[in-house]
C-alpha cells in the first residue's frame, strides 16, 4: 500500500500537486533547490515534511521510494543525475514536467541501468487542475505504473462517469508525447477562440456581447474549459476598465507546441491548424506593417450561426490532425496508443477538456476517425457552403484567422485534387525525380521539351 511520496520542485505545479496528494491522505516529503521555498511552504502546510538536503529527503521515504519530479524540463537532467546517486534499486522516479518525449526515453534507459524505474508522465490542468484533479498521462515502465496507479487515480480528475482521468499511455516517452500533442491541440483551440473573438470584434461586437455569444455556444456540444475561461476574461474589469483591452497583442510560448509541430514534420504528418496556431504566436512578435485593411460593410445575422458551425468543423479538423499525428507516431514506435482512452482522460482536468471529447470517444470506439464519422460527414455536406461563406467574410473583413482558414484548407486537401501531378511533373522536369501514373504502377520519367 503506497502512502508515502516525495516531490521535488515547489513551483506553481509542484506546490499544487503536493497539496492534492496531501489532501488524499498520503504523507509527502518535499525538496526544492532553494530551501526558502520549502520552508515557507511547510510553514503554511505543516503536515508536509520539508528537507534542505537531497539525501535527507531521499532517506525520509519508504522503500521502494516513489519520487515525483515537478521541475522545469531543462532542470530534469540535473536533478535526475543527483537523485540517481542516492536512490536504490526498484525505487520509482516519475517526471511530471513538460519534458520532451525523447528525453524521457533516454532518462528511462539511464534509470534502468541502475535498476531504477522511470515513469514519464504528462500532467495537464495548470495550477487549478494540479490542485483539484489533473489529467494524467503516465508511460514508460509498466511494472512501476502498477505500483502508483492507486495514487494517480486518487489525485486525478474524474469524468462525468466518475472514472479517473488517468490511463497508462504506453511504452517509452509516449506519455510525454501525448501531452505534447495535447499542447499542440491546446494552441490551436486557443487560437480558434481568439480568431472568433477578433471576427466578432471586427463586426463591432464589444467584449460583453462576445462573452454572451460564447456563453450560448458553451451550452451544448461546443462546451469547453477554454471557452469558459474566455467568457470570464471577456467580462473581467478592474478599476482601470476591461483588462483584456490593455493586454499587448503578442503571445508567447514555452515550446511544447513547437515540439508538436516539429514531430509532425519529422514523421511527415500534416497538422496545418496546429502549426498555424504556433506561427500565429511568432507573427504576433513581428513588427507591424501600418497598412491594415478596413472594411465596415455590415454582415447579416446569419454570420454568427455560420461562424459557430465553422468553429465546430474547425475543431473537427484540429482534433483529426492531432489524433492522426498520434496514430502515425504510435504506429512507428509500436506504442499501441489507445485513442479512446486518450480522449477519455482528456475529458476532465486538462486544458482542452470539452464536450467534444465525448464525440471523439464514440467515434474511436467504433474504430473510425472523425472524418469517417457519418454525422460529421453529413454536417460537412450540409453546411459546406455556409462554412466557405463564413471564411470568405473573415477574409473580406481582414480578420487574422490562420487556424480557421488552415482547417478549411486541410479539409480541402483531403477531399479534392491537389494539383500534385503538376508538382511531380516539375520535379521530374528539373531533377528527373520521376512520377507515378494514374493508369499503371511504377515510377516514370519523361524527357520534357523546353519550348
Ligand atoms: C497544461 C498546459 C501547460 C502548459 C501551459 C503553457 O496542459 O496544463 O498545457 O502544461 O505548459 O499551457 O504553455 P505555453 O507557455 O507554451 O503556452
User: Alpha-carbon distance 316 to 165, whole Å?
Assistant: 22
* Same domain for 171 and 187: no
The response to whether residue 124 sits with its C-beta less than 6 Å from ligand 1 reads yes
The response to whether residue 155 sits with its C-beta less than 6 Å from ligand 1 reads no
pLDDT band with cut points at 50, 70 and 90 for residue 3: confident
What pLDDT is attached to residue 1?
57
Cβ-Cβ contacts under 8 Å for 305 (sequence gap 6 or more):
386
Contact 264, 177 (CB under 8 A): no
The question of whether 358 is a catalytic residue gets the answer: no
How many percent of the chain have pLDDT more than 70? 100
SS3 394: helix
What is the best residue among 13, 16, 156, 256 to mutate for testing ligand 1's pocket, by most ligand atoms within 8 Å of CB?
256
Instruction: Give 40 Cα–ligand 1 centroid separation in angstroms.
Output: 26
What is the best residue among 12, 122, 183 to mutate for testing ligand 1's pocket, by most ligand atoms within 8 Å of CB?
183
Better pLDDT: 301 or 164: 164
The question of whether 179 is a catalytic residue gets the answer: yes
Statement: residue 387 has pLDDT above 90: yes
User: Alpha-carbon distance 17 to 239, whole Å?
Assistant: 33
Q: How many domains would you assign to the chain? A: 2
* Same domain for 191 and 155: no
What is the best residue among 20, 70, 98 to mutate for testing ligand 1's pocket, by most ligand atoms within 8 Å of CB?
98
Residue 230's CATH number: 1.10.1040.10
* Same domain for 158 and 57: yes
Q: Is residue 422 a part of any domain in this protein?
A: no
Which of 178, 206, 233 terminates a domain? The answer is 178
What is the average pLDDT across 71-97?
97
The response to whether residue 183 sits with its C-beta less than 6 Å from ligand 1 reads yes
* Same domain for 371 and 359: yes
- Model confidence over 389-436: pLDDT tens digits? 999 999 999 999 999 999 999 999 999 999 999 999 999 999 999 999
* Same domain for 82 and 27: yes
* Same domain for 241 and 119: no
What pLDDT is attached to residue 402?
98
* Same domain for 388 and 308: yes
Going by alpha carbons, the residue nearest to atom 5 of ligand 1 is 126
Instruction: Give 204 Cα–ligand 1 centroid separation in angstroms.
Output: 31
Q: Is residue 428 a part of any domain in this protein?
A: no
Among residues 66, 186, 348, 359, the one annotated as catalytic is 186
The response to whether residue 196 sits with its C-beta less than 6 Å from ligand 1 reads no
The response to whether residue 351 sits with its C-beta less than 6 Å from ligand 1 reads yes
Going by alpha carbons, the residue nearest to atom 9 of ligand 1 is 183
Q: Is residue 442 a part of any domain in this protein?
A: no
pLDDT band with cut points at 50, 70 and 90 for residue 296: confident
- Model confidence over 104-158: pLDDT tens digits? 999 999 999 999 999 999 999 999 999 999 999 999 999 999 999 999 999 999 9
- Model confidence over 306-346: pLDDT tens digits? 999 999 999 999 999 999 999 999 999 999 999 999 999 99
What is the average pLDDT across 8-28?
97
Statement: residue 205 has pLDDT above 80: yes
Instruction: Give 183 Cα–ligand 1 centroid separation in angstroms.
Output: 6
What is the average pLDDT across 161-170?
98
The response to whether residue 189 sits with its C-beta less than 6 Å from ligand 1 reads no
User: Alpha-carbon distance 142 to 110, whole Å?
Assistant: 16
pTM, rounded to two decimals = 0.97
Q: Is residue 429 a part of any domain in this protein?
A: no
* Same domain for 334 and 196: yes
Ligand 1, residue 256: give the atom nearest the CA.
16
Residue 21's CATH number: 3.40.50.720
Extract the C-alpha cell encoding 302.
446569419
Going by alpha carbons, the residue nearest to atom 10 of ligand 1 is 124
Among residues 15, 66, 179, 348, the one annotated as catalytic is 179
* Same domain for 217 and 98: no
Q: Is residue 437 a part of any domain in this protein?
A: no
The response to whether residue 122 sits with its C-beta less than 6 Å from ligand 1 reads no
Statement: residue 2 has pLDDT above 80: no
The response to whether residue 256 sits with its C-beta less than 6 Å from ligand 1 reads yes
* Same domain for 107 and 212: no
Extract the C-alpha cell encoding 207.
467584449
Domain that holds residue 18: 4-178
The response to whether residue 126 sits with its C-beta less than 6 Å from ligand 1 reads yes
- Model confidence over 172-196: pLDDT tens digits? 999 999 999 999 999 999 999 999 9
Output the average pLDDT for the chain.
97
The response to whether residue 350 sits with its C-beta less than 6 Å from ligand 1 reads yes
Contact 200, 194 (CB under 8 A): no
User: Alpha-carbon distance 264 to 3, whole Å?
Assistant: 40
What is the average pLDDT across 28-37?
97
* Same domain for 272 and 128: no
Count of beta carbons in the 10 Å neighbourhood of residue 243? 13
Contact 95, 76 (CB under 8 A): yes
Amino acid at each position: 500500500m503506497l502512502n508515502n511520496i516525495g516531490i521535488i520542485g515547489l513551483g506553481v505545479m509542484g506546490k499544487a500537486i503536493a497539496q492534492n496528494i496531501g489532501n488524499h491522505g498520503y504523507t509527502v516529503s518535499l525538496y526544492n533547490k532553494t530551501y526558502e521555498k520549502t520552508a515557507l511552504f511547510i510553514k503554511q502546510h505543516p503536515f508536509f515534511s520539508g528537507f534542505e538536503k537531497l539525501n535527507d529527503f531521499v532517506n525520509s521515504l519508504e522503500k521502494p521510494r516513489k519520487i515525483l519530479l515537478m521541475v522545469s524540463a531543462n532542470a530534469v537532467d540535473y536533478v535526475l543525475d543527483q537523485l540517481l546517486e542516492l536512490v536504490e534499486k526498484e525505487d520509482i522516479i516519475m517526471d511530471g514536467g513538460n519534458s520532451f518525449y525523447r528525453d524521457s526515453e533516454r532518462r528511462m534507459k539511464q534509470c534502468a541501468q541502475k535498476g531504477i524505474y522511470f515513469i514519464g508522465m504528462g500532467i495537464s490542468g495548470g495550477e487549478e487542475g494540479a490542485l483539484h484533479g489533473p489529467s494524467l498521462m503516465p508511460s514508460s515502465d509498466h511494472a512501476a505504473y502498477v505500483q502508483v496507479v492507486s495514487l494517480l487515480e486518487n489525485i486525478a480528475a474524474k469524468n462525468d462517469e466518475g472514472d479517473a482521468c488517468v490511463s497508462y499511455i504506453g511504452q517509452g516517452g509516449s506519455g510525454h508525447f501525448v501531452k505534447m500533442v495535447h499542447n499542440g491541440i491546446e494552441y490551436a483551440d486557443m487560437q480558434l477562440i481568439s480568431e472568433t473573438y477578433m471576427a466578432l470584434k471586427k463586426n463591432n461586437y464589444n467584449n460583453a456581447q462576445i462573452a454572451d455569444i460564447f456563453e450560448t455556444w458553451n451550452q451544448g456540444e461546443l462546451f469547453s474549459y477554454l471557452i469558459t475561461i474566455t467568457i470570464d476574461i471577456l467580462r473581467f474589469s478592474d478599476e482601470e476598465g476591461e483588462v483584456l483591452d490593455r493586454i499587448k497583442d503578442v503571445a508567447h510560448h514555452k515550446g511544447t507546441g513547437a515540439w508538436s509541430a516539429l514531430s509532425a514534420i519529422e514523421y511527415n504528418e500534416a497538422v496545418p491548424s496546429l502549426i498555424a496556431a504556433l506561427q500565429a504566436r511568432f507573427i504576433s512578435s513581428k513588427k507591424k506593417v501600418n497598412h491594415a485593411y478596413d472594411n465596415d460593410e455590415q454582415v447579416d445575422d446569419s454570420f454568427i450561426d455560420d461562424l459557430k458551425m465553422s468553429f465546430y468543423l474547425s475543431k473537427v479538423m484540429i482534433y483529426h490532425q492531432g489524433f492522426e499525428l498520434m496514430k502515425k507516431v504510435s504506429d512507428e514506435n509500436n506504442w499501441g496508443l489507445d485513442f479512446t482512452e486518450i480522449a477519455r482522460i482528456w475529458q476532465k482536468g486538462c486544458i482542452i477538456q470539452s464536450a467534444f471529447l465525448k464525440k471523439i470517444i464514440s467515434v474511436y470506439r467504433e474504430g473510425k476517425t472523425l472524418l469517417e464519422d457519418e454525422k460529421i460527414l453529413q454536417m460537412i455536406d450540409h453546411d459546406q457552403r455556409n462554412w466557405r461563406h463564413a471564411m470568405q467574410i473573415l477574409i473580406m473583413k481582414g480578420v487574422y484567422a490562420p487556424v480557421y482558414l488552415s482547417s478549411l484548407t486541410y479539409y480541402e486537401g483531403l477531399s479534392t485534387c491537389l494539383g500534385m501531378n503538376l508538382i511531380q511533373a516539375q520535379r521530374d522536369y528539373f531533377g528527373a525525380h520521376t512520377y507515378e501514373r494514374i493508369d499503371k504502377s511504377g515510377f516514370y520519367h519523361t524527357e520534357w521539351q523546353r519550348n
